[in-house]
Amino acid sequence: MPHTNRLNHWVIPDGYIPPNSTGELESHESICVLNTGGVDANITINVYFEDRAPLEDMTVVVPAKRTLHIRTAGLRSGTEAIPKGVPYAAELFSDVPVYVQYSRLDSTQPANALMSVVAFPVPEGRE
pLDDT greater at residue 93 or residue 111: 93
Instruction: pLDDT band for 7, please (50, 70, 90 cuts).
Output: low
Is residue 46 within 8 Å of 56, Cβ to Cβ? Answer: yes
- Is the whole model's pTM more than 0.85, yes or no? no
Buried (b) or exposed (e) across 14-49, using 16+ Cβ within 10 A?
ebbbbeebeeeeebbbbbbbebeeeeebebbbbbbe
Helix (H, G, I), strand (E, B) or coil at 39: coil
Give ∠ CA 97-103-109 in degrees, rounded to 5: 175
Q: Give the separation between CA 119 and CA 103, rounded to whole angstroms.
A: 10
Backbone torsions φ then ψ of 110, nearest 5 degrees: -55, -30
Instruction: pLDDT band for 29, please (50, 70, 90 cuts).
Output: confident
Provide the phi-psi class of 85: left if phi over 0, else alpha when psi is between -120 and 50, else beta.
left
Instruction: pLDDT band for 2, please (50, 70, 90 cuts).
Output: very low
Give pLDDT, residue 117: 66
Residue 110 identity: P
Backbone torsions φ then ψ of 93, nearest 5 degrees: -130, 145
